[in-house]
Amino acid sequence: MDKRTIIITCEHAGNYIPKDYHFLFSNQEDVLETHRGWDPGALIIAKYLARQLDAPLFYQKISRLLLETNRSLHNSELFSVYVQMLGGGVKQYLLDKYYHPYRNTVEDKIKKEVDMGHTVLHISMHTFTPVLNGVVRTVDVGILFDERSCTETAFSKEWKSRLDDQLKDFTVMLNVPYNGADDGFTTYLRTRFPEQKYLGIEVEVNQRYVNTPELKHIKEALLMGLSEATYTKV
């Protein structure tokens, strides 16, 4: 396996709403605490991996209900129903203030590494709700990637094999509960860098394990799988 630089990102790290936009959620503040507002537990895992791997970490703490950093500019989910009332000028301000600085910083970091001749393994950390629209999701850990990429496919299958060995009582699946080729930050970044130089892998962990002893086991298994991959420290 080629040497790789690992970077960790977390696009739904928090549910923070700047005070100027509190009015958008008046009497509906509870929605910010749900999976619609953020990915509970994702930043905890991301910080753990970054610390143990000595890898750079980038995260967005603005709630996805104010601005969806993990969606492209053309995506209808970029601004939630709570934000649709805002004028175009205010939405552009939010993009300039929070969206572009975050994404540009990550992209610039990847470009720097690629320009130095490194291959970048980008781990985008997420969690998902155990029940969606009344349907119970049975997967515990999902590894999301683009099946059209030979490098991402090979890496993801290998990582899943390691996780299966470490998480025998858990269900680990590929491209579940979402497809890694759907619109997202990694999907965009794949268009910016050669396939052999950039691997964008999203990790999804079931939120049922947040604040439980099992989460420690999952974190350690994810780390062990990544630690076995050779990478260059930043």
**pLDDT tens sequence across 127-161:** 999 999 888 999 999 999 999 999 999 999 999 99
The arithmetic mean of pLDDT across residues 71-85, rounded, is: 96
The arithmetic mean of pLDDT across residues 200-214, rounded, is: 97
The arithmetic mean of pLDDT across residues 171-197, rounded, is: 97
pLDDT at 1: 43
Domains recognised in the chain with CATH numbers: 4-227 (3.40.630.40)
Q: What percent of the chain has pLDDT over 70?
A: 97
Spell out the residues 6+ positions from residue 120 whose beta carbon is closer than 8 angstroms to its own.
Answer: 4, 5, 6, 7, 110, 113, 114, 193, 197, 198, 199
* Model confidence, pTM: 0.95
Instruction: Compute the mean pLDDT over every residue in the chain, rounded to the nearest whole number.
Output: 95
Residue 7 contacts residue 175 (beta carbons within 8 Å): no
